Chains A and B, each alone.
Chain A
């Protein structure tokens, strides 16, 4: 039903995905970093690396491969326009 490969049919509508805990840990870390550091100009270092790696590993293991490929394709299509747009604004 979601992005992840089908598990049991009772898996409901959300947050039952096997990566939910790792996802929350990463997003919490990211949000904290974003508002406490990034927006204050402290972007010289990637943070939440451990959280990201664990979460990413879980997604890779559980994600539907075809869907992931498609997502990354579309992301590639979206990216050039974005770069053009940000040039405009600078």
Chain B
């Protein structure tokens, strides 16, 4: 039982700015109110390949995911830890983020992949973001009998949060644009 969802979004900002905004997304205090489901973001590992310009980073996200009451009753906790693994290729200008839950894995696995690439039609000024989310309910878990309902709720939540995430990204981009504009 795997459900996958794809979304695409074009930012009318260069890749350099969008990828920088992605790093700031969870950290700027201004956005903490909007992305209030993100409680903590910690960087656990970083590796820069000084020859190839590849930057690997591992972050831990602590997420508040209360979910609907029927889920809460089964799972009994509403804090979820996730690992976010990122590779930025400075040479080819690509950024790839993969996020996976490490809590609640016996019930559900959610994997989210996000890529930021220069837009093929306007590579120096626009950026395309493609996002793929897959949700997998473990077949023998307590959630299996209501898998469809859980998946649907989960997907709705993801969509809501990704809309919020996009708004925040757009805002940071605008702010960074203003910051870098010549006076």
Chain A residues packing against B (C-beta within 8 Å): 1-3, 13-15, 17, 19, 23-24, 26-27, 30-31, 34-35, 38-41, 43-46, 52, 55, 59, 67-68, 70-72, 74-75, 77-79, 81-83, 85-86, 89-90
Contacting pair A31 B42 (CB below 8 A): no
* Complex contacts, A31 vs chain B, CB 8 Å: 20, 23-24, 27
Closest B residue, CB atoms, query A19: B42
* Complex contacts, A85 vs chain B, CB 8 Å: 96
Q: How far is the CA of A48 from the CA of B21 in the complex (A)?
A: 19
* Complex contacts, B53 vs chain A, CB 8 Å: 38, 41, 43
Which B residues between 50 and 79 are near A, CB-CB below 8 angstroms? 50, 53-56, 58, 60, 62, 64, 79
Which of the listed residues A35, A40, A72 has the most CB atoms from chain B within 10 Å of its own CB?
Answer: A35
Chain B residues packing against A (C-beta within 8 Å): 15-17, 19-20, 23-24, 27, 32, 39-40, 42-46, 48, 50, 53-56, 58, 60, 62, 64, 79, 81, 83, 85, 87-90, 92, 94, 96, 98, 100, 102, 117, 176
Closest A residue, CB atoms, query B62: A2
Known interface pairs A41-B90, A79-B85, A86-B87; A30-B23 also in contact (CB < 8 Å)? yes
Main secondary structure of the interface of B (DSSP, over half): strand
- 11 additional A-B residue pairs with CB within 8 Å, beyond A27-B27, A59-B44, A82-B96: A3-B42, A3-B62, A27-B43, A31-B27, A34-B19, A34-B20, A38-B55, A43-B48, A72-B45, A78-B98, A89-B92
Closest A residue, CB atoms, query B38: A14
Known interface pairs A27-B27, A39-B16; A78-B100 also in contact (CB < 8 Å)? yes
